Amino acid sequence: MPTFRLLSYSLNERAPVWPGNPPSAKTEVVQAIARGDAANTTLLHLFSHSGTHIDSPRHFNPAGVSGWQVPIERYIFFHPRIIPVPKPNGGLITLAELEPHRVQLADADLALLLTGWSQYRTSDPARYSQQGPLLHPAAARWLMETFPKLKAVAIDAVSIGAPGYPKESVETHQVLTGVGRTDGRYLLIVEDLRIDPDLHKASRIYALPLLIEGSDGSPCTIVAEFPD
């Protein structure tokens, strides 16, 4: 029997988020058995880019599709590849650091950027959210142009951008969401993901966003399947 592993973090008001973003989730009681109602019901307040989530093209590309318009097969990955790019002090993930992984990326449909930054998510959440690594725009462009089988890129940090590099962060997102392209190509962006070093052994990784019409992104349940 295959085994499964949850890679998403749970959503709550305390989880670290990009500076200025609302919490990943708030809950509001609508009905409660404890106060005499027949059932428990809850109003959910979510933000499209806090917690483990997927950026759809529309996040930075006004001509891009929303998450609910993305074909479902683009959310299932059969060839995930770990790309180790250690960034214990944050900073840029450069093209020069990705080029040695060209062979691994050649057949990849999901590039998992393992920076090690997730070590701060619990131990130093302020550092985790306010600093962090950034995929350089040139590196993002190289991934887009060089690897046609690639469908998504994921990172173990609050974002594929970094608050300390606002201009570059916008450009990287624009590149990956296909701004200015005429061929319709884009890469989904998975942020704030738990990336374990053995995920290259997964037979599949499933990314299951909420299909909310009009949304530019969504919290996402991401699960890795391992063969028996």
Q: How far apart are CA 115 and CA 95, in angstroms?
A: 15
Question: What is the number of alpha carbons within 13 Å of residue 39 lying toward its C-beta?
Answer: 2
Averaged pLDDT, 43-57: 95
How many angstroms separate the first and last alpha carbons of the chain? 5
pLDDT value of residue 228: 85
Number of Cβ atoms within 10 Å of the Cβ of 144: 18
CA trace torsion 68, 73, 77, 79 (10° rounding) = -140
pLDDT value of residue 201: 94
Number of Cβ atoms within 10 Å of the Cβ of 38: 7
Averaged pLDDT, 154-171: 96
Give the pLDDT confidence of 98-153 residue by residue, as tens digits: 999 999 999 999 999 999 999 999 999 999 999 999 999 999 999 999 999 999 99
Structural tokens at position 56: 């759809």
Q: How far apart are CA 1 and CA 24, in angstroms?
A: 34
Domain ranges of the chain: 3-8+48-226
Q: Contact 49/189 with Cβ under 8 angstroms?
A: no
Q: What percent of the chain has pLDDT over 70?
A: 100
Q: Contact 114/84 with Cβ under 8 angstroms?
A: yes
CA trace torsion 151, 94, 5, 75 (10° rounding) = -10
What pTM, to 2 d.p., does this model score?
0.96
Which residues 6+ apart lie within 8 Å of 141 measured at CB? Answer: 175
Pick the CATH number of 3-8+48-226 from 1.10.645.10, 3.50.30.50, 3.90.1150.10, 3.40.50.150: 3.50.30.50
Band (pLDDT 50/70/90 cuts) for residue 12 is very high
Averaged pLDDT, 146-168: 97
